[in-house]
Amino acid sequence: RRQEGSHFGSSSRARTSQHLLRARPLTPGRAVMSQDPKAVAGLVADLKMLAAFETAADWREQKAMDSAFSALSWSDAGVKAALPEYLAASASERAKVDYAFNAMIPRPAQDIDGRQAVMHTWIKARLFSYNKEFPFQFNPYAQ
């Protein structure tokens, strides 16, 4: 039998959930992201295409490489606008973006095909646009 307020009781979970909600208030930026998850979907889709491209490159499957390269979000206006800004940014401005990118994709582009490096740069420009709108925070203790 469960005791009220015990570690396994439902009221304990409710208190924990309420604590988590209070710990991270919903800011305007987080509210927009939670209502319109296209940013996350776009990033995930691009990462999938990069993985597909790299797998096809490992197997030397040219048609699959071409297909994955073509399926990247080349028509995304937000990334198109951020690309020249990313390329012109100083090293200190790019540091957070590079850190986030390297956490997701730790291997550098291979010399098999120059398109892989182009895809890396596109994804970094996407991350740069996100960082510009919603600055990355990698310190979990920062308020």
pLDDT digits over 119-141, tens only? 999 999 999 999 999 999 888 78
Share of the chain above pLDDT 70, in %: 73
pLDDT greater than 70 at residue 30: no
Give dist(CA 133, CA 69) in Å, integer.
Answer: 27
Residue 39: closest CA among 77, 1, 5: 77
pLDDT, one tens digit per residue, over 55-92 is 999 999 999 999 999 999 999 999 999 999 999 999 98
Report the 10 Å Cβ neighbour count for 29.
11
Give dist(CA 40, CA 10) in Å, integer.
Answer: 32
Band of pLDDT at residue 113, cut at 50, 70 and 90: confident
Residue 90 · residue 143 · CB < 8 Å = no
